[in-house]
Amino acid sequence: RKEVEQDPGPFNVPEGATVAFNCTYSNSASQSFFWYRQDCRKEPKLLMSVYSSGNEDGRFTAQLNRASQYISLLIRDSKLSDSATYLCVVTYNNNDMRFGAGTRLTVKP
C-alpha cells in the first residue's frame, strides 16, 4: 500500500465548477501537509500548506483530518488555468517528504 494515496483522475470539469480532491496517508506520525501543483512537463510548485484548523486561499480550501488521516483540497469556480496535476505531500521528520502520485484536473470551457 502506498504511503500517500490519491485518486489519479482525470477529473474533467467545466469552467465555474467546484471540484474536490482527496488524499489519504498511512503514517500517523506525519507532521506537515501540503498541496503542490504540477503543470505538464514542469516542476512542482507549492499551492498551499494544510493546517489542522483548515485554511483557505482565495478559491482554494484545504482541510486536514488527523483522526482519519485524510487531506482534501476544494477548488471553487474553476478556471481554465487550474488545469494541472495536484500533488498531496506529507512530511514525517522534517526531511522525509512523501508525495502522492497526483490527481489530474482538466477544466474545460
Partner 1 sequence: NAGVTQTPKFRVLKTGQSMTLLCAQDMNHEYMYWYRQDPGMGLRLIHYSVGEGTTAKGEVPDGYNVSRLKKQNFLLGLESAAPSQTSVYFCASRKGAGTDTQYFGPGTRLTVL
Give contact residues for partner 1 (rule: CB under 8 A): 2, 4, 8, 32, 41-46, 49, 87, 94-102
Judged by beta carbon, residue 38 or residue 76, the one nearer partner 1 is: 38
Judged by beta carbon, residue 30 or residue 78, the one nearer partner 1 is: 30
Q: How far is the CB of 19 from partner 1 (least distance, A)?
A: 20
Q: How far is the CB of 39 from partner 1 (least distance, A)?
A: 11
Judged by beta carbon, residue 36 or residue 78, the one nearer partner 1 is: 36
Residue 29: phi and psi, rounded to 5, are: -85, 5
Please report the sign of the dihedral spanned by the C-alpha atoms of residue 22, residue 8, residue 98, residue 4: positive
Q: How far is the CB of 4 from partner 1 (least distance, A)?
A: 7
46 pairs with which residues across the strands? 36
Judged by beta carbon, residue 75 or residue 90, the one nearer partner 1 is: 90
Q: How far is the CB of 43 from partner 1 (least distance, A)?
A: 4
- Interatomic CA distance for residues 24 and 88, integer angstroms: 9
